[in-house]
Amino acid sequence: MSILASPTRYSRATPSKTVADLIAWQESADGIWTGRIDLDFAGSIVNEGGRYVAANWNGEEVGNFRTLRAAKESLEPRRRMALRERAEHIQQRTQWMLTGSAAVISTVALVLVANGVILTP
């Protein structure tokens, strides 16, 4: 099936893709979907009591979702990359804030010592 094909209903017979999806999904059994990127296994989703549990290619649980679409999106490489970039950005901002705070505190302490407000032993 072409990657430019319009979205279709998910069925056992026909894997489907949309332009944005890299993973082709197929319902392999009732309530169990398997995904592939080309010939590589990309992950699986199991319907457990109306919730969809997604596991990555390595079998590690990614999350528990209310909809099948949300579970599928959680395994898309672009989504995983966006989450990783967001976490790295937050970590980098935190590091900058800590470094900046330490520099401000050091400067204030030096000024206080220089002005005799804080006496050193």
pLDDT in tens, 23-66: 889 999 999 999 998 888 989 999 999 999 999 989 999 999 99
d(CA 26, CA 115): 73
Given a cut of 50, is residue 81 above it in pLDDT? yes
- Specify whether the CB–CB gap between 50 and 59 falls below 8 A: no
- Of the pLDDT bands very low, low, confident and very high (cuts 50, 70, 90), residue 121 is low
Confidence at 120, pLDDT banded by 50, 70, 90: low
Cα R_g (the chain), whole angstroms: 25
How far, rounded to the nearest angstrom, does the alpha carbon of residue 52 sit from its chain's CA centroid?
Answer: 16
CA 75 to chain CA mean position, Å? 8
> For residue 13, is pLDDT > 60?
no
Model confidence at 85, in pLDDT bands (50, 70, 90)?
confident
What mean pLDDT comes out for the span 71-92? Answer: 78
Adjacent-strand bridge partners of 110: none
Q: Which tokens is 72 given?
A: 């599928």
